[in-house]
Structure 1
Amino acid sequence: MNPLLDERKATVEADHQWIANLEVDERARTGIPLLKVGFNETFGYYISISRAKADQVPANYIRKQTLKNEERYITPELKEREARILTARDDLHKLEYEVFVTLREEVGEQAEAIRHLSRAVAAADVLCGLAELAVYQGYCRPEMVNGRELKIVDGRHPVVEQSLPAGFFVPNSTELGNIEETSPLPDLIILTGPNASGKSCYLRQVGLIQLMAQIGSFVPAKSARLGVCDRIFTRVGAVDDLATGQSTFMVEMNETANILNHATSRSLVLLDEIGRGTATFDGLSIAWAVAEYLAMEIRSRTIFATHYHELNELAGMLPNVANYQVTVKELPDQIIFLHQVQPGGADKSYGIEAGRLAGLPTVVIQRAKQVMGQIEKHSKIAMGLREGL
């Protein structure tokens, strides 16, 4: 790259090698086996010999320092090499910086071409990665359409699927978006089911498939026919914001307000348990009103996961709302999660069963079942909603 720089480096390396060989050569020449070559910032390079061997020192050695147990010497040739090394090192650093500045200026002149090439390489890298993933994971090419249709057959979550043994992930289908008046698909799905049954995974799965399709990727499904979204809105998970003094519920409400104020009929909205952070009646009322507004006013394609089973009543009141549930197999002393999304609304959340699986004391579980029985016996919320709204 730079002949002068290479020459300076070779000179420095040669002088360092001479210093490294000096100790071996001088031991052989003087017959002093414990002779050493050292260096410090004060004296530079020196030859160290124990005082007991001082009488064997050659005539060309010049005493530089006397210590308790050793004498330190220099030689004219050693000092000459030292001066060359130190001078060459400074010159080398200066020359290296000059070469760097020149190279930087030359590269700067080609900055636009380099940026263009980097973008092209990055795009090729992404496309190759997506292509490899599609081949090895059995993805399909989505069909993109102009309408609002969202039809996914046997969709899979691309991340969760990889964390499970092959064949263990349960695929699920999704149909959203009115396309024909004669056989309309729902605009809003009320998704119910037990805790830990896979509702949140299903929401994320649909959002990821839509997003992957719109960046030009194949998608994890048997087939997919998708209308282009203008935005994908999500309200999934519970988190507070201590820095601004916002509770979990207030963060949830702020995010929900943003969705209701900006979503359109071309948007995909994914909501998970809206209203759970406050009192039951308040939360249910907010969840009902939000779902109703999305279905009637905005008409965005929406999946609304909830434990408020009363929201299933919306499907009987609004033509573009459908109920789906994540199914379980109920046994006498346990439930088995099937992770299958099927039409129909669930009437249980199995929260007490989830508490049992988490290790709550038996006495607490039994008492919870007693309380639940009384609540179910006297609750008339669903009936009131049907009659009053």
Structure 2
Amino acid sequence: MKKYYVRDEGATVITDKVLRVIIVAVLFISLTANFFLMSILCICLLILSFGTKLWAGAGLNHVTASLELSEVRAFPGDPVLLSVNVENKKLLPVSLKIELPSSTGELHSMESGVLSYGTVKYDWELTFEKRGIYTVGPLNVSACDLLGFYSVNGDFAEEREVVIYPELIPLREYFPFSREYFGDQKSRAFAEDPVLITGTRDYSSDRPSKNIHWKASSRTMTLQEKMYAPSAHVKAMIFIDVEGFQKADAAAEFEMMLKAAGSLAAALSRKNLVPGLMVNGVMKGDQFPMLSPDAGNQNIHLLLEKMARLTMEYSPEYEKAIKQQDIKGNITCMVFCYALDEKINKFKHSQQSVDIIICKDDFLPRGSSEARIYNLHELFA
């Protein structure tokens, strides 16, 4: 059984050690002098002193606490419901104070008494305003005797991680990639592969009935049809160059760039085209800096999570790993950077199809056959 250190909540006649010694001395004198009322008073004070200390010491024994989050991944501003359940599995009632720290700097607290074999539940609604990785917990639970003379502290439940994706913002319908990715899909004559099923959707009467997914329809009680991946498809790769932002100390531009990159990835996923991702910055949680492109939409959450974990700290090791990648085939690279520099110019010469989006307002060379170059603000609605 885990042991807890009992501390007093302030010097009183009940908790002060010197006063307890004096009470014992007075008790001895009272007994020898036959002062029975004084003796009874001293005995009551000693029983109260040691009894409340033992009560507080046993306060956290057979007490369990759990921490639950309604969502562990969300967007900025989305409410995340946090629930704390505390159960007292013993006959002795306790008075509890629960504190819940978080990496945002907020400290949530609640006080309540828990009866014998009782349960209490606390709910807090958390909101996170910025992209990033946040931690909640552990729970700090303090138990004291019902008179409040002594208390004992203990940590319950492990830290929980909350991933906040970059904010998704509306993009212009005529932004540079619309001609390639959001044009008329029929003109490309992509054939659907009946083996590569990427998901289901509501059945439309203008679609062949052979595409109906009967098992999914029986579960949802509505007609569902299978979604197939194309047998050939355009692939895209997003490359985020952190080095330029770090050198310019452009934190605000870095966050705006991540919003645009995440919004672009989400828009492409709705067209059944999820780009891959390459970053040369440190990510919280020791994540791998690359994600391969995929035809379905199952990778969009992984991509947004990597963007949530990305920091504005350049990593030479990740840069080296990216250079070792051999990007070939029908892949369009979309480079998000702070400004055009020697490294970006070298990268655009090494790829067949490159779109470069820069954050710094600068003169942009147009009409290049090797790459299309745009300012970041050209993407926004």
| TM-score normalised by the chain length of structure 1 | 0.32
Q: Give TM-score, length-normalised by structure 2.
A: 0.32
